[in-house]
Structure 1
Amino acid sequence: MHRSLAVVDDTDVHRELLAEAARLARGSDGEVVLFTTMTAEEFDSDTEKIESIERAEGTTYSDTSALDGARKVAREVAEEVFADLDWDVEYEVVAQVVEEGDRADAILDAASEYDCQHVFVVGRKRSPTGKVLFGDTAQQVILNFDGMVTITTE
């Protein structure tokens, strides 16, 4: 079975890329792993917000509530994209906390762990100097993934 990893975020560009991953899955009788990340800072911020809600409502959420929220957003994006298709898409959602500069490694590790043959990722438009100074996740994935990579830019 063919398996693709699609990096998902709540943007139109990511929706378009996810639709492409779904078309490939249909043509290859495969499935899509939806991969979403949040930085440690985003995780901490979301966790603080959840704890604030807990105090106000007198409720308790699990320690993974911030990651659960990220998974939920990825599922909602997928359901929106897949609802417009004439076929069912098999998928699973994976969310992970990563350090800012480690996003490409996290994508590559997840693609390896889930035995993916194809990676779909959105890249940023940056100047060559910007890529050298700040790195480029999409470029690192292209250079280090042993398989097909489809990239679109924001």
Structure 2
Amino acid sequence: MERALVVVSPEERSHRILREAGELAAGSGAELVVLTVLPDEEFERTRSALASVGSSDVVYGIDQAIESATRRAKGVAREAFEGLDLDYRIVADIGPEADTILETARWEGCDHLFISGRRRSPAGKLISRDLTQSVMLNFDGPVTVLLGEESSEDAKENEKGKSGLLA
């Protein structure tokens, strides 16, 4: 492993995946690229909400969104990498998550990818598109996945989907 991409999100698992990636990178002398992706929908939702406030002083564009995401990722990375001798840098982008992760990995020349995933029921896997699975299937190299439990929100979505399939 020479350069790895580690994907972070606002979830608690980001600290754990960052720490795991950081320890492996520090042990092998690899560089880490820490990526945070703001999905298009979330960017538009925030921009619309701020625009509805109606103040001409409030400007929320791509630059502000990327700056904010970068700041959050720096804070999480600094905490997760505490005590590690490690070269890393932060990259933030806006776009479709899977495509953005894969494009960034190619652009940065990453030979390993770290990402968090969720344990899902078999029905949940069938019903909803899974970001982690999509990235794993399309990345040309090793992918390390840290699995967490399915959230209650995911379980509710899966139940809705199951009832829709049976109807």
Q: TM-score range by the shorter chain?
A: 0.7 to 0.9
1:10 and 1:118 mapped to 2: Cα distance? 22
Can you give the 5+ residue segments of structure 2 that lack an aligned partner in the other structure? 149-167
Whole-angstrom CA distance in 2 between matches of 1:50 and 1:89: 38
Contact 2:4 2:114 in 1 (8 A): yes
Unpaired stretches in structure 1, ≥5 consecutive residues? none
- Could you say what secondary structure the match of 1:26 adopts? helix
Match of 1:91 in 2: 88
- Counterpart of 2:103, as a letter, is D
Q: Could you say if the C-alpha distance between residues 82 and 93 of structure 1 is closer, same or farther in structure 2, counting changes exceeding 3 Å?
A: same
For residues 9 and 20 of structure 1, what CA distance do their matches in structure 2 show? 15
TM-score (norm 1): 0.82
Given the alignment, which residue of 99, 108, 113 partners 1:105? 99
Matched-pair contact (CA < 8 Å) for 2:17–2:146: yes
CA change 1:60–1:19 in 2 (3 A) is same
Task: Find the counterpart in structure 2 of residue 65 from structure 1.
Answer: 64
Task: Encode CA deviations 1:76-132: one digit per residue, 9 max, x unaligned.
Answer: 10011112x2x3321111112223xxx222211111111111111011222222222
Q: 1:43 corresponds to which residue?
A: 43
Runs of 4+ in structure 1 off by over 4 angstroms are 48-54, 58-63
Q: Relative to structure 1, is the Cα distance of residues 60 and 97 closer, same or farther in structure 2, using a 3 angstrom cutoff?
A: closer
| Secondary structure, aligned partner of 1:122 | strand
**What is the number of residues matched between the two proteins?**
148
Question: How far is the alpha carbon of 1:38 from its aligned partner?
Answer: 1.4
**Root-mean-square deviation over aligned CA pairs:** 2.4
Match of 1:127 among 121, 130, 154: 121
Alignment pair present for 1:20 and 2:20: yes
Distance, in Å, in 2 between the alignment partners of 1:63 and 1:10 is: 18
The structure whose Rg is larger is 2
Instruction: Report how far residue 4 of structure 1 moved.
Output: 0.7
